[in-house]
Copies of this chain bind each other. A is one copy, B any other.
Amino acid sequence: MRIVELTEESRKDILENLLKRSPNNYTEFEGRVNAIIEKVRSDRDEAVFSYTKQFDGADINASNVLVTEEEIKEAYEQVDQTLLEVIRKALVNIRKYHEKQRQQSWFTSEDGIILGQKVTALEKVGVYVPGGKAVYPSSVLMNVLPAKVAGVDRIIMCTPPGKDGKVYASTLVAAKEAGVDEIYKVGGAQAIAAMAFGTESIPKVDKIVGPGNIYVALAKKAVFGYVSIDSIAGPSEILVLADETANPRYVAADLLSQAEHDEMASAILITTSEELAKKVSDEIDGFVEELSRKEIIQKSLDNYGYILVASDLDEAIDAVNEIASEHMEIVTKDPFHVMTKIRNAGAIFIGEYSSEPLGDYFAGPNHVLPTNGTAKFFSALSVDDFIKKSSIISYSRDALEPVYKDIVKFAECEKLTAHANSIKVRFEK
């Protein structure tokens, strides 16, 4: 793995290289995606089923688009029983963590004035689950459980069928365990459009979440505003901040755990120790040979993998905050104090036993995290994503009277006389 000195210039080059991976750059597919959306919006079910035939090769229609209880029962029989046990253990941890995120309605009251915020769960949410190359039941849990904990009334799921019209058993089992209400055998941009506008078979939802390929990502961006969406996910990332106290074998293994996701994934070590840099590089060479996804890993490391050597910890931390990685590990002396200086990261893993995959599957925090530097302004998927807040405002006559002239004045300065009138009318003789 390449070892680079951390300088103003190398930092700039690396940031530019990383941002190339943004789904925002794939505007060449926008035309095709918009055409699919328009077609689904006008022809509804007919368009959805026709695209499903075209893209997934499956014969889906109004009578078989909804996964049946029978199919779910079959899935439970097919699924690896040990996996089912692990899913159930993970589910307990994920639910427990997300329950801590619940927000309360609140109000203040003084002298005839009540102000506050009323928290309400969204009514209908759609979760997209990709089919294709890899099946990730963990992703089902992470997308569904925050909505469930928030108190969403109805959670539907769309996922593409195979040619045989079936959905993966582990997806169905994870969905059922997490509490999905209905599962539809539809994928791609057509699924996003169906959930955004509704069809005869598929209900319109208030928010769409879940990962997907570039078509799904662009479709989500296109329907944003008609419905809400989670943030648009790019390829996965890990950034390890380590000093000379770190175990190079652990650091190497953790970097590889993200590199294996995808050729566009990024794995970066920033260290103050040149010795550690070399050892990690050697360990990586050793591991890569043994791993099943060797080719993906090699490409990802070549494209977006870096070992950066910083002259001191402050410089290293500056770079960490600039890169704003999806996953970030702190493997240094005093890691909790270092954490206080980390401003931008999706998830922060602290200490040498807090390996990133612990968070992917098990610990409880959500693995749907902001990528591509968006940790500067986005957060992990959470219960917050499935609630909204209504402002509460109530004044008594006695409370309004002493201030009503100020409000009238303000309205008149903005030349909004009907605004002024609505206050004045209440105090007319």
Contact = CB atoms under 8 A, between A and B. Distances in A.
A364 B89 CA distance: 45
A376 B122 contact: yes
A363 interface: yes
Contact of A361 (B206, B231, B407): B407
A207 B363 CA distance: 31
A123 B401 CA distance: 40
B83 A361 contact: no
A402 B390 CA distance: 44
A10 interface: no
A54 interface: no
B379 A389 contact: yes
Given A357-B422, A410-B86, A366 B391 contact: yes
Interface in A239-282: 249-250, 253-254, 256-257, 259-261
A221 B225 contact: yes
Nearest to A362: B407
A393 B353 CA distance: 10
A14 interface: no
> Which of the four size classes fits the interface of chain A?
35 or more
Interface string A119-138: 01011000000000011111
A413 B376 contact: no
Given A343-B123, A346-B390, A348-B393, A206 B416 contact: no
Interface of A: 22-24, 80, 82-83, 86-87, 89-90, 97, 100-101, 106, 108, 113-115, 117-118, 120, 122-123, 134-138, 170, 206-207, 221, 224-228, 231-232, 249-250, 253-254, 256-257, 259-261, 287, 290-293, 297, 335-336, 339, 342-366, 369-370, 374-380, 382, 384, 388-397, 399-400, 403, 406-407, 409-411, 413-423, 425-426
Contact of A418 (B170, B253, B366): B253
Nearest to A399: B353
Contacts of A377: 122, 206-207, 227-228, 388
Contact of A137 (B138, B399, B414): B414
Contacts of A359: 391, 393
16 contacts: A83-B409, A134-B416, A138-B410, A253-B418, A256-B418, A261-B416, A291-B417, A292-B417, A293-B417, A344-B390, A353-B399, A353-B400, A358-B423, A362-B406, A363-B395, A379-B388
A221 B24 CA distance: 12
B24 A225 contact: yes
Given A221-B224, A260-B416, A293-B417, A382 B392 contact: no
B344 A395 contact: no
A414 B353 contact: no
B82 A422 contact: no
B378 A291 contact: no
A417 B260 contact: yes
A365 B115 contact: yes
Given A225-B232, A358-B407, 8 more contacts: A115-B365, A118-B348, A138-B410, A227-B377, A353-B397, A360-B419, A379-B388, A380-B389
A122 B376 CA distance: 7
Contact of A86 (B24, B388, B406, B417): B406
